[in-house]
């Protein structure tokens, strides 16, 4: 079964790239701005979504000192700018310049692999990152995306185990139940998947993804009235979705089937 592009996009949106907090390190002497000043300047461009400007500043910072956090943030900006090969190279440099024990590097590298459809590499990255998560710190986002990678690889047992573990770590996070529903949906067990998604939408009515995927399951069973209701719920709780035009077209199509 081919994974729908929108479903893939929605899953990936669960856990997005993260920018590490600026790591204040010893500043080397230089004739121009210090590496930390450049790093902070690049971060401001990153926060303002000025990707090209951020990349340019991080490259200047690299010329002063090679630091893993500079390469990491440059990679994040390069992803947003659509420069995936450059981002992969930046994350590799982050690992080689002090970031090999930093979970945030592996998390963003895993996200890049997942976005490019390299799911086994994503799994390897997430699992490597989880090893370095300090005790007491959250690893929820990485576990969520690890589960999604297992789903894409159709490794159902590993996906179910990951999402079940997530439930114990974050019982108030809807992503675990949603992930269990997603496994059932991808296996073609639509009615069982709907039951899981119902649990999510009842407990977390503003979790938009479960409304959308539940609509997909209803449509697969040719329950178009129910599918329309779920799509409308998705629109209501996620009015800023960039897929609203597509959802409206689907609703219109299903309404015509009910006439």
The DSSP annotation for 61-89 comes to HHHH---HHHHHHHHHHHHHTT-HHHHHH
Q: Report the top-level CATH class of 1-18+33-172.
A: mainly alpha
> Using CA atoms, how far apart are residues 229 and 254, in angstroms rounded to an integer?
11
Give CA angle at 87 (142, 154), nearest 5°. 45
What is the fold, at CATH topology level, of the domain defined by 174-259?
Answer: 1.25.40
Check if 1-18+33-172 and 174-259 are the same fold. yes
This prediction's pTM: 0.80
Domain boundaries, the chain: 1-18+33-172, 174-259
- Helix or strand run (H / E) with residue 59: helix 51-64
Contacts 24+ apart (CB under 8 A), 233-241: 233/201, 234/208, 237/205, 237/206, 237/207, 237/208, 237/211, 238/208, 238/211, 241/208
Copy the structure tokens of residue 55.
């990349």
Here the tokens at position 227 are: 């599918």
pLDDT tens-digit profile, the chain (259 residues): 333 333 433 443 444 455 444 444 444 454 678 999 999 999 999 999 999 999 999 999 999 999 999 999 999 999 999 999 999 999 999 999 999 999 999 999 999 999 999 999 999 999 999 999 998 888 999 999 999 999 999 999 999 999 999 999 998 999 999 999 999 999 999 999 999 999 999 999 999 999 999 999 999 999 999 999 999 999 999 999 999 999 999 999 999 999 8
């Amino acid at each position: 079964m081919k994974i729908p592009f929108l479903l893939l996009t929605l899953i990936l949106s669960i856990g997005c790239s993260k920018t590490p907090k600026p790591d204040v390190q010893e500043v080397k002497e230089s004739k121009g701005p210090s590496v930390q000043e450049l790093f902070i300047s690049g971060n401001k461009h990153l926060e303002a979504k000025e990707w090209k400007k951020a990349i340019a500043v991080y490259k200047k910072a690299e010329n002063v000192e090679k630091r893993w956090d500079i390469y990491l943030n440059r990679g994040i900006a390069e992803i947003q700018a659509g420069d995936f090969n450059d981002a992969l190279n930046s994350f590799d440099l982050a690992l080689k310049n002090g970031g090999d024990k930093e979970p945030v590097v592996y998390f963003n590298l895993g996200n890049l692999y997942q976005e490019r459809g390299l799911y086994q590499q994503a799994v390897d990255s997430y699992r490597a990152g989880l090893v370095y998560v300090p005790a007491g710190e959250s690893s929820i986002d990485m576990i969520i995306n690890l589960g999604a990678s297992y789903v894409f690889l159709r490794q159902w047992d590993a996906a179910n185990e990951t999402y079940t573990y997530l439930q114990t770590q974050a019982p108030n996070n809807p992503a675990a139940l949603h992930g269990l529903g997603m496994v059932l949906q991808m296996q073609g067990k639509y009615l069982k998947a709907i039951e899981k998604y119902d649990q999510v939408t009842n407990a977390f009515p503003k979790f938009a993804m479960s409304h959308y995927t539940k609509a997909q399951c209803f449509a697969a069973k040719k329950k178009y009235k129910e599918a329309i209701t779920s799509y409308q719920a998705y629109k209501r709780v996620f009015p800023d979705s960039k897929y609203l035009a597509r959802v409206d077209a689907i609703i219109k199509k299903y309404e015509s089937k009910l006439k």
